[in-house]
A and B are shown apart, each in its own frame.
Chain A
Amino acid sequence: MDSLQSKEQVQAVFVSKSKKYQVPSAPILIPTNLKRFGLSEIINHLLENEKPIPFDFLINEILLKSTIAEFLQNFSLSIENILTIEFIESIKPPTQKETLPTDSWISSLLVASNDLFYVASYDSTIQIWNSEKECKAKLVGHTGPVKSITSLGNLDNLSDNTKSNQVNLLSAGLDQTIIGWKKSLSSSNDQNPDFDQAYISYGHFASVDDVTSTVDNSHFISASADSFLKIWSTEIPSEESQLEILDNGIEGLPSLNLILSQSNAKKAKKIKPSSSESKQPKKLFKTSKLTFRGHVGPVSSVCINPNQENQFFSGGADQSIRSWDILTGDCINTKVADTSVLDTQYSSLSGLIVSGHTDKTIRIWDPRVEDSSVVSTSLKGHSSWVKSLKWSSTNPFMLASASYDSSVKIWDIRSNSYIFSIKCVSSKNNGKKPKGQLVDKLLALDWKSNTIIAGGESGDLFINSF
């Protein structure tokens, strides 16, 4: 039987979307017991590559992970028909480059460049690290743990006037504020950046869990545990507006004096007064432009749709993913999942939303579909909550996820299971974890070009690269 099976063959046509690799379109008889590696050899042979290039193969848009025979059996395809196999250059597994130990839990991460990372930490600071394990700067401003940071991206194409009015970094914190940071004039060097607090935004009644800027960087949207989303302009407010605020107070909040006294009191405990007094620049306050009401529980994440300026998405603990219209402030569409949403990300390449949930699954939604409960795909593989997600900026099918099971997994949504799993275990207390206690949670993830960084409970920043 084995011999018979091994002789089983199927006609296949290899195609590729990239023009670099062109193979004859005539069907080739291939044995069905071949796996990815065997097929890859065939392609390399066809391309007459001297140095073999690893390929991955897609049959009917599904990634081949087993032998062809098993694949055919699983999807009940006939071996009589001609198989069309698409081959793509396979991605090399990421390698864990290094870990940067920080003092506290990492809540949010940002890859500024290949060797510059912004780390939002639970010790209420934002740290800027380079790949040489050097902490370049520590941004102090929040009076509670920082929950989210976002950079406003490239501002180079803006005029100098507007540029001077823009902030470069936004951070949201558990102290219910969002702080806009501006690159300090002293640090013109990209490798050695430093930021000054430009303004502080009041308006939320609870911890602000996520912040993101719109496409044109003119506004940013914040998501808070008080179930509201707010949109703010990124501009540094003028002095006049400050007076107005001081006079009128902030809508829905007690008087400003009280807030100031409160925050000063908090700060007084955190930082020694002597040092802070001198450094403290004049505070600028910011108020929100619009509030989006609809969620019935904490809103955990917000993401924008780069293709459609007026739309953004949010996910919350009320198990819903909502899409909003910026102009009207209305909730356009609500999609309901089975469990709480911890993170949402929109891919401009594929136009899909991916959400991480407390039931260990990653769900992929199509926002263009009106139906409220259609999940395109569920990706299962994590053994705990999926806290953070990031789409690949180049590949429309790939995404990375960080979970409480202390692993980062890289997925191809064409395949049911993950492609790579990176174990991010801290070297600090490796194996010393008390019995019964869970592993260190991963809370944050960022993926830019070849670099994937992740961090969490252990305080270590795990840097991986392809």
Chain B
Amino acid sequence: MVQKLKKKRGTPAQSPVILKQDKDLVLPKLDLTLDTDSENETTSTKSDSDSSLKTVNGFIVTNNKKVSSKPKKSAFTKINNSENKVSQSKNSLASEFTEETPQLADSDSNTDISSLGDSIQTTDFEDQNINSKMSQIDLKREEPFEGVYNLEAKFLKKFGVTKEDLGIEPVLDFQTWVDNRKNLPQIEPAYDSDSSTESQENTIGNVPIEWYAEYDHIGYSRDGEKISKPKVDDELDKFLKDADDPAALIKIRDELNQKDIRLTDEEIGIIQRIQQGEFPDATFDPYEDSVEWFTSKTMVTPLTGAPEPKSRFIPSKWEHKMVMRIVRSIRNGKIYKKPEPKERENIYDIWSSDLSDKNLQNDLKRIPPPKAKLPEHNESYHPPAEYLPTEEEKKKWLQMSRDDRPTNFLPKDFETLRHVPAYKNLFPETFQRSLDLYLAPRYQRTKLNIDPESLIPKLPDPKELRPFPTTKSVCYSGHTDYVRCLSVDPTGVWLLTGSEDNSVRLFEISTGFCLKVWTFEDPVNAVSWNPNKDICMFAASSGEKLVLIVPKQVADLNSLVLTETLLKNGLATRNVQTVLNWDKPTTKEQEEDIYLTIDHSSAINQLIWHRKGDYLATLCRNNNSVHIHQISKQTTQKPFSKPNGLVQRVMFHSVKPWFLVATQKYVRIYDLMRQNLVRTLNPGAKWISSIDIHPQGDNIIVGTYDKKVCWFDLDLSSMPYKTIRYHEYAVRQVCFSKAYPLFASCSDDGTIMVFHNTVYSDLMQNPLIVPVKILSGHDISDSLGVLDVTFHPTKPWLFSCGADKQVYLWT
């Protein structure tokens, strides 16, 4: 404030604006007159000043145009002056700090003309308030104004102004203006002096007007004279008058002065705003920014210089006590968080036809309730005669059990509806219906319209894959115990079978005639023809003994000579220091065509010839050893000092110098030339029973005791290309056909499965495996079925032997 005042005082001449104010001060007074009484002749504001005409003009015109905000202002201030004081003062302060707006220093409130001259000097605080009030109006007045030059002289005369006054003509001097000013009505110096300028003279004060109802006067003038009541129009006249007067609705009656007062637009606006509960002053902004007097921002010079009170730094003891009490009670469990109540599952009627809830609609599809059966003729109370049951039918119905009855009632005939008794079965039926709904499926199964046939991979018709063995043709009989093994000679004429009855039998394949029987001391576990066609020899294992036999009955003379020389030469070049002993047979054995015996220290389980017929591999499962014998040199090697796992089968590769060793879970392929491991196959089985190699050497089949047959493609991976699970029990043997694209597997379930396998020479094409035939004919004895199978070397024929002591040829 002080600053502002200082400024004001210090710079009186500085700004012409302030100087101007001297003259301008009058102008608000002009407004007042205009507002309150438009009829009043306002003395012309003769701007004697050298101030710009425009400003003066602006004032005048603005006043005219804006009618008057003064009374409102005053009314407003009356209503909530106290409130606004702060804000107004704020405004003024703000404006003064910024000095943005040119100040119209004094308002009309300083209506005292006498004080006009001094008004600039006024330091009254209140004045400032009002000043600030006015500044708002002033802002409005500064709006651009264009109507100056249209003013008519007549209009100006009304205000007692001439064109000359307005500066269009030569300007009047100050003295003239002072003289003219005396014509203005006297202004009450009261604070709220708006209405005091009115001409009324009733001085009764603020007493109820009813007190004067019985008198002819309504009060007294200032002079103490009675003011007579004006003639009161009767209601009809009043009505007519109102009807004529378009402004009748905006007139109110001033009972005190017995006058009709027409409300101005501003007043109506105020009334309307009050009615609407708004602030009466249209220009009042209730939401203007507040001025933070006491802010967090520390000013250079704080408002108070007092130091922070000590209490601010001391933690409250009582608060601490309160908190501790809560803490204790939480610890003691007196205060605890109540478990949130579980939200109940949404229960909804799934059968309802309108699932209006949007969430439900998203979650659920509408499931139509199972339809109740529609009533038929027989359910009628008066059914047609043909629906009525006969006595027999009734009897039958009654005898039937409740569940078997086609209907749960017997049709009955009643003459009229009146005779129909109460329906007994209502509750059972309702219950049944509820059961139907309850048991109905709660979800809709989306059925895929797929032909199941189309899902089956397209395999060629087995008929197109002929020939393959289909029927049992020849039976080779003679064994008296399990037939463990069989072998076909390379020319395809002779068949050897080894059995648990300690014998090996030689059969003619085409007739089944048993040509020769060799009897040993131990069960024969393995027997195998030498695959070399030029040599006529086979190996058989009886217990721990491996015997090499040259069957002279069937030997071709040439090959017989060859074989004998081979064996003789081998004897000559024999390396004595072999792993196992090659023994000369006894004379008795010689008579039986036994040429050599090799004593293994453990029972021999498998015999397998190399394809050239010189090497013979034997497997003893009991001591887990593998031996490879060479016939031409009569030596024995032990390729694995300690095999990796329990060896189940061994096999020579059909093309490459590889040696396959099947342990319980893996098949390992070794290169015999380089003496290293080529790869390991994992059939994913628990116990491998048998393996065989495709004649072309790229594929291997593995049979397992856990019913599986796995097909490996050596080009693909170490996992099976196909796993076939058709057998019901352990697979005992698998074998490929050398002449036809067939392989077979035999199992303890007494069946032999024959598969057609097409191995393409194209590397990109995977082998095609088609099951073509299940051969069942072997009986199961002691839960053992077919023990060995092998294919004929040139024909699509299959030999099988089993625990039922039989050997069959399938063609």
Assuming the contacts A206-B491, A262-B552, asked whether A404 and B558 have C-beta atoms less than 8 A apart, the reply is: no
> Is the C-beta of A145 less than 8 angstroms from some C-beta in chain B?
yes
Contact in complex: A436, B560 (CB < 8 Å)? no
Contact in complex: B515, A385 (CB < 8 Å)? no
Q: For A145, give its contact among B474, B510, B515, B552 (CB under 8 Å).
A: B515
Q: For A254, give its contact among B558, B777, B806 (CB under 8 Å).
A: B558
Contact in complex: B513, A207 (CB < 8 Å)? no
Residue interface bits A333-370, CB-to-B below 8 A is 1, else 0: 00000111010000000000000001100000000000
Q: Which residue of chain B has the shortest Cβ distance to A359 in the bound complex?
A: B811
> Is the C-beta of B748 less than 8 angstroms from some C-beta in chain A?
no
> Is the C-beta of A384 less than 8 angstroms from some C-beta in chain B?
yes
Contacts of B779 in A (CB 8 A): 435-436
Q: Which residue of chain B has the shortest Cβ distance to A269 in the bound complex?
A: B591
Contacts of B554 in A (CB 8 A): 174, 207
Q: Which residue of chain A has the shortest Cβ distance to B805 in the bound complex?
A: A434
Q: Which residue of chain A has the shortest Cβ distance to B562 in the bound complex?
A: A254
Contact in complex: B552, A266 (CB < 8 Å)? yes
CB distance from A424 to the nearest CB of B (A): 16
Contact in complex: B511, A438 (CB < 8 Å)? no
Contacts of A180 in B (CB 8 A): none
Contact in complex: A297, B556 (CB < 8 Å)? no
Contact in complex: A457, B512 (CB < 8 Å)? yes
Contacts of B467 in A (CB 8 A): 338-339
Q: How far is the CA of A175 from the CA of B553 in the complex (A)?
A: 7
Contact in complex: A205, B552 (CB < 8 Å)? no
Q: Which residue of chain A has the shortest Cβ distance to B808 in the bound complex?
A: A438
Contact in complex: A441, B492 (CB < 8 Å)? no
Residue interface bits B560-576, CB-to-A below 8 A is 1, else 0: 11000000000000000
> Is the C-beta of A39 less than 8 angstroms from some C-beta in chain B?
no
Q: Which residue of chain A has the shortest Cβ distance to B806 in the bound complex?
A: A436
CB distance from A163 to the nearest CB of B (A): 33
Contact in complex: A404, B556 (CB < 8 Å)? no
Q: For B473, give its contact among A253, A254, A338, A358 (CB under 8 Å).
A: A358
Contact in complex: B475, A438 (CB < 8 Å)? yes
CB distance from B507 to the nearest CB of A (A): 12
Contact in complex: A122, B513 (CB < 8 Å)? yes
Which residues of B from 523 to 566 have beta carbons under 8 Å from A? 552-554, 556-558, 560-561
> Is the C-beta of A158 less than 8 angstroms from some C-beta in chain B?
no
Q: For A105, give its contact among B493, B511, B556, B557 (CB under 8 Å).
A: B511
Contacts of B477 in A (CB 8 A): 434, 437
> Is the C-beta of B258 less than 8 angstroms from some C-beta in chain A?
no
> Is the C-beta of A176 less than 8 angstroms from some C-beta in chain B?
yes
Q: Which residue of chain A has the shortest Cβ distance to B779 in the bound complex?
A: A436
Q: For B557, give its contact among A174, A258, A437 (CB under 8 Å).
A: A258
Contact in complex: B513, A258 (CB < 8 Å)? no
> Is the C-beta of B96 less than 8 angstroms from some C-beta in chain A?
no
Bin the interface of chain B by size.
20 to 34
Assuming the contacts A225-B491, A436-B804, A443-B511, asked whether A404 and B557 have C-beta atoms less than 8 A apart, the reply is: no
Q: Which residue of chain A has the shortest Cβ distance to B564 in the bound complex?
A: A258
Q: Which residue of chain A has the shortest Cβ distance to B472 in the bound complex?
A: A438
CB distance from B672 to the nearest CB of A (A): 33
Contacts of A253 in B (CB 8 A): 557-558
> Is the C-beta of A91 less than 8 angstroms from some C-beta in chain B?
no
Q: How far is the CA of A339 from the CA of B804 in the complex (A)?
A: 29
> Is the C-beta of B668 less than 8 angstroms from some C-beta in chain A?
no
Q: Which residue of chain A has the shortest Cβ distance to B553 in the bound complex?
A: A144
The prevalent SS among residues of A at the interface is: loop
Which residues of B from 757 to 811 have beta carbons under 8 Å from A? 777-779, 794-795, 804, 806, 811
Give the interface centre of A259, A266, A438 by most chain B CB atoms within 10 Å: A438
Q: For A436, give its contact among B492, B552, B558, B777 (CB under 8 Å).
A: B777
Contact in complex: B795, A441 (CB < 8 Å)? no
Residue interface bits A249-275, CB-to-B below 8 A is 1, else 0: 000111000110010011001000000
CB distance from A145 to the nearest CB of B (A): 7
Contacts of A435 in B (CB 8 A): 779
Total A-B Cβ pairs within 8 A:
86
Q: How far is the CA of A258 from the CA of B95 in the complex (A)?
A: 146
Q: Which residue of chain B has the shortest Cβ distance to A107 in the bound complex?
A: B511
Q: Which residue of chain B has the shortest Cβ distance to A122 in the bound complex?
A: B513
Q: For B794, give its contact among A107, A297, A359, A443 (CB under 8 Å).
A: A297
Contact in complex: B557, A259 (CB < 8 Å)? yes
Q: How far is the CA of A457 from the CA of B492 in the complex (A)?
A: 21
Assuming the contacts A254-B561, A338-B467, asked whether A437 and B473 have C-beta atoms less than 8 A apart, the reply is: no
CB distance from A244 to the nearest CB of B (A): 19
> Is the C-beta of A317 less than 8 angstroms from some C-beta in chain B?
yes
Contact in complex: B552, A437 (CB < 8 Å)? no
Q: How far is the CA of A176 from the CA of B552 in the complex (A)?
A: 12
Q: For B553, give its contact among A174, A252, A443 (CB under 8 Å).
A: A174
Contacts of A340 in B (CB 8 A): 795
> Is the C-beta of A298 less than 8 angstroms from some C-beta in chain B?
yes
Which residues of B from 480 to 498 have beta carbons under 8 Å from A? 491-493
Contacts of B795 in A (CB 8 A): 317, 340
Q: How far is the CA of A207 from the CA of B509 in the complex (A)?
A: 12
Q: For B474, give its contact among A205, A265, A438 (CB under 8 Å).
A: A438
Contacts of A254 in B (CB 8 A): 557-558, 561
Contacts of A437 in B (CB 8 A): 475, 477, 806
Q: For A404, give its contact among B474, B777, B794, B804 (CB under 8 Å).
A: B474
Contact in complex: A441, B552 (CB < 8 Å)? no
Contacts of B510 in A (CB 8 A): 300, 317, 342
Contacts of A457 in B (CB 8 A): 511-512
Which residues of A from 380 to 396 have beta carbons under 8 Å from B? 384-385
Contact in complex: B493, A262 (CB < 8 Å)? no
Contact in complex: A441, B491 (CB < 8 Å)? no
Which residues of B from 217 to 272 have beta carbons under 8 Å from A? none
Q: Which residue of chain B has the shortest Cβ distance to A207 in the bound complex?
A: B493
Contacts of B513 in A (CB 8 A): 105, 122, 145
Contact in complex: A258, B561 (CB < 8 Å)? yes
Contacts of B472 in A (CB 8 A): 438
CB distance from A45 to the nearest CB of B (A): 48
Q: How far is the CA of A269 from the CA of B556 in the complex (A)?
A: 19
CB distance from B718 to the nearest CB of A (A): 40
CB distance from A430 to the nearest CB of B (A): 17
Q: Which residue of chain B has the shortest Cβ distance to A300 in the bound complex?
A: B510
Give the interface centre of B474, B493, B561 by most chain A CB atoms within 10 Å: B493
Contacts of A41 in B (CB 8 A): none
Contacts of A404 in B (CB 8 A): 473-474
CB distance from B551 to the nearest CB of A (A): 11
CB distance from A454 to the nearest CB of B (A): 15
> Is the C-beta of A56 less than 8 angstroms from some C-beta in chain B?
no
Contact in complex: A441, B474 (CB < 8 Å)? yes
Q: How far is the CA of A384 from the CA of B515 in the complex (A)?
A: 22
> Is the C-beta of A98 less than 8 angstroms from some C-beta in chain B?
no
Q: Which residue of chain B has the shortest Cβ distance to A437 in the bound complex?
A: B475
> Is the C-beta of A325 less than 8 angstroms from some C-beta in chain B?
no
> Is the C-beta of A226 less than 8 angstroms from some C-beta in chain B?
yes
Residue interface bits A297-335, CB-to-B below 8 A is 1, else 0: 110100000000000000001000000000000000000
Q: How far is the CA of A298 from the CA of B560 in the complex (A)?
A: 19
Residue interface bits A419-442, CB-to-B below 8 A is 1, else 0: 000000000000000111110010
CB distance from B3 to the nearest CB of A (A): 129
Contacts of A266 in B (CB 8 A): 552-553
Contact in complex: B556, A206 (CB < 8 Å)? yes
Assuming the contacts A435-B779, A441-B474, asked whether A358 and B806 have C-beta atoms less than 8 A apart, the reply is: no
Given contact pairs A105-B511, A225-B493, A437-B475, a sample of 8 additional A-B residue pairs in the complex whose CB atoms are under 8 Å apart: A105-B513, A252-B558, A265-B552, A317-B510, A384-B473, A437-B477, A441-B511, A441-B512
Nearest 5 CB-CB pairings of A with B: A205-B556, A438-B475, A254-B561, A437-B475, A225-B493
Q: Can you list 29 A-B pairs, Cβ within 8 angstroms, ordered by A? A: A105-B511, A105-B513, A175-B553, A206-B493, A206-B556, A207-B493, A253-B557, A254-B558, A259-B557, A262-B552, A262-B557, A265-B552, A269-B591, A297-B492, A297-B794, A298-B492, A298-B493, A339-B467, A358-B473, A358-B811, A384-B473, A404-B473, A434-B477, A436-B779, A437-B477, A437-B806, A438-B473, A438-B475, A441-B474
